[in-house]
Amino acid sequence: MANLFQGSIRLQNTPCNTDIGDAGTCLAETDCRSRGGTGSGQCGRSGLTCCTFKFTCSGKTSSNETLFVNPSYPLGENGTNTCQVTIQNAPDVCQLRLDLEEFSLSPPDEYGRCTKDSFMVRTTVGERLPMLCGENKGQHLYVDMGRGSGNPVVLSVITNDIDFSRKWKIKISLIPCNNYVMAPSGCL
């Protein structure tokens, strides 16, 4: 891995953490805003800002290190809703890694089924991914996107419980084909 620091100055396009601990990328403030990001905190003495890219219901992204959050984040959501986002695939991306940095939905019923709230991942490569609900903070998933496929992946959160406050923050990492961090095919 290349050295991310030169003295105490962070370099452009290197990973960083915002003032509230979200993962971001060091960018010039104008670059951050023009790409639709939010700057929070400085990247050392470089004059760069730690830029994050958050999006929510009906959003689309093709950017690495994007955060899918509930509409009122960091506050919770009550009520019935369907919130879905689309991840556009690039030809050189074969997998996604979804890090559930915050994930609190209604718990499963007594049979282990997600009958009130659910999180689903839909792909076009025929992979059958489980439906998730309950408390899953700190977990992660790998999603195969298909080698050379331009087809998108859709993430959906469906809520059907008015008496529960749910919250999610899911970091989306794009993993290029033949990269050493790729999980074996079919690995969840």
Euclidean distance between the first and final Cα of the chain, in Å?
26
The answer to whether residue 6 scores a pLDDT higher than 50 is no
d(CA 131, CA 118): 6
d(CA 89, CA 169): 21
29-33, 98-102, 122-126: range with highest mean pLDDT: 98-102
d(CA 155, CA 82): 10
Cβ-proximal residues to 84 (8 Å cutoff; 6+ apart), any chain: 57, 58, 154, 155, 156, 157
Query: Domain ranges in the chain?
Result: 14-52, 55-176
Tell me which fold the domain 55-176 belongs to.
Jelly Rolls (2.60.120)
The answer to whether residue 7 scores a pLDDT higher than 50 is no
Alpha-carbon radius of gyration of the chain: 17
Q: Where does the pLDDT of residue 19 fall: very low under 50, low under 70, confident under 90, or very high at 90 and above? A: confident
d(CA 147, CA 177): 7
pTM of the model: 0.81
Give percent of the chain with pLDDT exceeding 90: 34
Mean pLDDT confidence for 142-147:
82
